[in-house]
Amino acid sequence: MQPRAKREFKDSLFEQFARIGRAVGNGHRIELLDLLAQAERSVDDLADLAGLSLANASQHLQVLRQAGLVIARREGGRVYYRLSGSEVFTLWQALRSAGEARLAEIDRVVSTYLSDRERLEQVGPDELRRRLEAGEVTLIDVRPLVESRHGRIAGAIPIPADELSRRLEELPRDRPIVAYCRGPYCVYADEAVRLLLQHGFKASRLTVGFPDWQAAGHPTEHQPEQSATAVGS
């Protein structure tokens, strides 16, 4: 390959990779990827969950779709999005890990807004799997039902955080309870553990969320996927 052709090849190649970088170079778009790692959602739902206007959410999703990170389908008058593949969540995991390792600001933000988390007992995924296999704990998924129905840790009881206070009688008191939600920065599990502790349960939170557990190859439960017609490509 001639030097000029080689340079053109490298420029063209790395520019394509840069499209991914530009697509994830926005906090709102990263949050949308985090939400879509849980389950397919409509544009309306994503806008509400991310605190965006419908128009703004649609624009961000279009950028992600053009970079090949999400896929859209239409059902009636609504458009639904999902991640285009498991490697997209892996990309978010890697970005998250790099940020945690290299940006002190992340620790400061977490310690500011999740200051009481250090007082809550935490369980890692390997330890949770051991306890589940030994029948030592009760596991609850406190994410919204639309997410836990899409997929959850095998054996988990789906009880959304906003329903937990009125469903405490469903939980056994003879063994500890572990709660989990979307990921390390999701507060649903923190809120659930605090509530359980207030009512005399022994409770702890899983340090990771369902997508991390699934990506590690641990046992999960899934409902059959709906057939869908893709919008664009």
- Yes or no: say if 187 and 130 are a contact pair by the CB < 8 Å rule: no
Residue with structure tokens 């899934």?
222
Question: Strand, coil or helix: what is 226?
Answer: coil
* Separation between Cα atoms, residue 188 and residue 183, nearest integer Å: 10
* Separation between Cα atoms, residue 85 and residue 65, nearest integer Å: 12
- What tokens appear for 45 in the block? 């739902």
The one-letter code for the residue type at 164 is L
Burial label, 134 (beta-carbon count in 10 A; 0-12, 13-18, 19+): exposed
How far CA 34 is from CA of 56, 61, 130, in Å, comes to: 17, 13, 27
- Yes or no: say if 132 and 206 are a contact pair by the CB < 8 Å rule: no
Hey, CA dihedral for 115, 119, 124, 128, is it positive or negative? Answer: negative
Through-space distance between the first and last CA atoms of the chain, rounded to whole angstroms = 33
Residues with catalytic annotation? 181
